[in-house]
Structures are given as structure tokens and as C-alpha cells.
């Protein structure tokens, strides 16, 4: 049996690619989805893209301790009052969460061949790996976060936590007090679209999106069209609305020879999207699912795909190669966090004539 652990709709596409690459049939495939809220945007996307025929079983599990807490299950008011004491509440929540994880694990009776993770540093994923003991462990892409995972793994070099470090006591408590098995993974294989530098003992399998590639020959093409993929920078307060709008206007100016179409991120507010549309007079497309999956289901393919540091750029380059142009627009460092800078560094190091990084400083507005 093979287990796929995921929490984002985009990772579902990588799971399908992994199933295709390793020739894993539905009857040997179990998917476990970690959720924050059963009604959030990710779950809505999952419901649109999941094909139950691809899986023997599908489980839905809370993403973390806080999301698993269901106070209504405790009917006794006096008992509810007792466990509201914060330190005790934390312990009860952890035990309650582990019980939920173990309920899923106990229903998987087969020996496990492979486990595919979305993040090897999440305790819930580690618990599944250490309890089920698969023969092989793979880490799939969760966007550009895979760069951070590989870097942390290289820097730590799987170091042993010393007795005076906080993480040592945290893992010790999880393992021996709560039965939460979060031991570090010794060897991992990355199933990734990125060119990673990895630890000794780790390995890489390049995800070239072969399954998508087999399906896109008949997709409608949009010549002289540029898709610009947005980001929730305003909602996340890394940029002001005015700064963000200025950057989008500059991108539109740079791509003046193309029909400019803005693709909102699922985290962007409808209010800001409408403001952007009205102020800059740009077209808006909303695919209501990851664009990579929209391609898989016959979506349109433009001549240019652009964004800031979105992982859609690397993914589309892996899918299309030099068939289309990829552009990453670089913002001022004060408008991005350190992590985004690392993504830009990766893009710059791997850029070529068809995958360019354009500094916004070089783009002048006509007004």
C-alpha cells in the first residue's frame, strides 16, 4: 500500500504525477488530507479536483491540534470548565489530536511500501511515517517551500538535538509522554520540479509533469496573451495597496505587447481584486483551482506566464519547458520577506532566455 499525505490542492496534482511515475494503481493508493477548516477555500478546491476513482480510501484529518478541537463533543459543562484551564487544555488537545491520527492509522492494515509527504517537518506527517514505517519516504513539492525544506535539512545535517535545547525536550515529551512519534527522518527522496542541493543519503527524482504533458496537446492556445498570477501581498500586509497596484501596473506596461490577464490568488480579497480591475482596467480570470490542475483539465495556455515569486513559474517551466515565456518580476527587498528573496535567488540562478527575472526598477511607467 502507498500513502499520500497532503494539505494543499496543488499537492494533489503532484500526487497524481507520482502515481503515474511509479505506476501505482488506485487499489494500492490511500490519500490523507489535512485540513484547517472543512469549509475553507482549500477544501472547496479539493472537492472540485478529487477523483475518487484514483484512490482506494480517502481520509480527512485536522491539520493541527487547534483545528481538531471540538468542544461540542464534551457535553458535561463542569468537565468543560475544568479542561478550560489552559495548561490542561493543551495536554488534552494534544491527546485528542493523536487519538484522531491513530484512528486513521489503525484503519490502514496493510504493509506500507511508500509514503509521499507534503512536508517532512510537520509533526503529524512524522507521526504517520514513524508509526507506519514505510519502505521508502518521498517529499513532494508544496510550491517553492521545498527550497526551504531542503535548505533546513542541509544546514541541520540531521543533527542530534542537545539536552539543553528546547526542541530536544519538545520531541522527548511528544514521544514518551504523549505517544506522538515525531522522530526525524534519516533519508528522504524529493519528488520535485526544482533543482535541489541535497544531503548525503538523500536523493532527487525530477517531477517533469509527464502526465500533464500527455494531456496538453489539445489545450486551447492564447497567442499574444500574458497571464499574470497575483499574490495576497496586500492581505498579508507585506505591501500596501498602492505599492501592489503600482507593481501590477508596471508588469502590465512591460507586457504591453500582450493581452494582459490577471489571475488572482485564492488568498486575495474580492474587494481588492475589483479595485485592481477598475483602477488599472485589466481583465480578470479566476480558475477556482490551481492553474497547473486547470491545464491538466484542458485549460487555456498563454504565450507568457508571469508573477512575482510564485511557484507557478517553476511548475509551468517544468511542464512547458521553452515552449512559452516565463517572467518573474523582482520587487524591492523591503517589499518581500527573506524567504521570497531566496526564491528569487533560485530563479536568478536558474534563469535563461525563456525564464527571465525582471527587476521592476528597470520598468518605467508612461504616466
- Can you tell me the distance from the alpha carbon of 308 to that of 306, in angstroms, rounded to the nearest whole number? 7
- Can you tell me the distance from the alpha carbon of 272 to that of 240, in angstroms, rounded to the nearest whole number? 11
pLDDT (0 to 100) of residue 163: 44
Name the DSSP letter for residue 236. T
Q: How far is Cα of residue 6 from the mean position of the Cα atoms in its chain?
A: 9
Report, as an integer, the average pLDDT of 110-118. Answer: 92
CATH class of the domain comprising 213-362 = alpha beta
- State pLDDT tens for residues 208-250: 999 888 888 889 999 999 999 998 877 877 788 888 999 999 9
Same topology, domains 2-207 and 213-362? Answer is yes
Name the DSSP letter for residue 144. B
Predicted confidence band of residue 354 (pLDDT cuts 50, 70, 90): very high
Provide the mean pLDDT of the chain.
85
Highest-pLDDT range among 77-91, 97-111, 269-283, 335-349: 269-283
- State pLDDT tens for residues 34-71: 888 778 888 888 888 899 999 999 999 877 655 455 44
- State pLDDT tens for residues 158-191: 455 454 456 666 776 677 667 778 888 888 999 9
- Can you tell me the distance from the alpha carbon of 121 to that of 123, in angstroms, rounded to the nearest whole number? 6
Domain boundaries, the chain: 2-207, 213-362
In CATH, 2-207 is 1.10.1740:
no
Report, as an integer, the average pLDDT of 259-269. Answer: 91
- Can you tell me the distance from the alpha carbon of 268 to that of 70, in angstroms, rounded to the nearest whole number? 29
Amino acid at each position: 500500500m502507498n500513502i499520500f499525505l497532503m494539505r494543499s490542492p496543488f499537492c494533489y496534482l503532484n500526487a497524481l504525477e507520482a502515481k503515474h511515475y511509479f505506476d501505482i494503481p488506485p487499489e494500492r493508493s490511500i490519500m490523507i488530507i489535512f485540513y484547517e477548516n472543512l469549509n475553507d477555500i482549500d477544501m472547496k478546491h479539493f472537492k472540485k479536483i478529487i477523483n475518487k476513482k484514483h484512490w482506494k480510501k480517502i481520509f480527512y484529518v485536522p491539520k493541527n491540534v487547534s483545528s481538531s478541537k471540538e468542544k461540542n463533543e464534551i457535553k458535561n459543562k463542569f468537565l468543560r470548565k475544568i479542561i478550560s484551564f489552559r495548561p490542561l487544555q493543551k495536554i488534552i488537545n494534544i491527546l485528542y489530536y493523536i487519538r484522531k491520527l491513530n484512528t486513521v492509522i489503525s484503519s490502514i492494515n496493510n504493509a506500507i511500501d511508500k509514503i509521499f509527504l507534503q512536508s517532512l517537518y510537520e509533526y503529524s506527517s512524522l507521526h504517520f511515517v514513524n508509526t507506519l514505517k514505510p519502505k521508502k519516504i518521498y517529499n513532494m513539492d508544496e510550491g517553492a517551500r521545498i527550497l526551504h525544506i531542503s535548505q533546513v535539512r542541509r544546514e541541520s545535517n540531521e543533527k542530534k538535538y542537545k539536552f539543553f535545547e528546547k526542541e530536544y525536550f519538545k520531541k522527548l515529551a511528544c514521544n514518551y509522554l504523549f505517544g506522538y512519534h515525531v522522530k526525524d527522518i534519516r533519508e528522504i527522496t524529493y519528488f520535485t520540479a526544482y533543482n535541489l542541493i541535497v544531503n548525503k543519503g538523500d536523493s532527487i527524482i525530477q517531477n517533469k509533469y509527464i502526465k500533464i504533458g500527455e494531456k496538453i496537446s489539445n489545450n486551447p492556445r492564447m497567442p499574444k496573451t500574458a497571464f499574470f498570477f497575483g499574490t495576497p501581498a496586500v492581505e498579508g500586509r507585506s505591501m500596501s495597496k498602492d505599492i501592489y497596484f503600482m507593481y501590477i501596473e508596471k508588469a502590465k506596461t512591460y507586457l504591453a505587447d500582450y493581452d494582459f490577464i490577471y489571475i488572482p490568488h485564492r488568498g486575495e480579497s474580492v474587494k481588492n481584486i475589483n479595485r485592481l480591475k477598475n483602477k488599472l482596467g485589466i481583465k480578470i480570470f479566476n480558475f477556482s483551482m490551481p492553474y497547473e490542475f486547470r491545464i491538466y483539465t484542458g485549460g487555456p495556455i498563454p504565450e507568457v506566464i508571469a508573477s512575482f515569486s510564485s511557484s507557478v513559474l517553476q511548475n509551468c517551466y517544468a511542464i512547458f519547458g521553452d515552449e512559452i515565456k516565463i517572467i518573474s518580476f523582482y520587487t524591492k527587498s523591503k517589499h518581500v520577506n527573506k524567504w521570497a528573496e531566496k526564491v528569487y535567488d533560485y530563479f536568478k540562478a536558474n534563469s535563461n532566455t525563456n525564464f527571465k527575472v525582471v527587476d521592476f526598477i528597470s520598468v518605467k511607467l508612461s504616466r
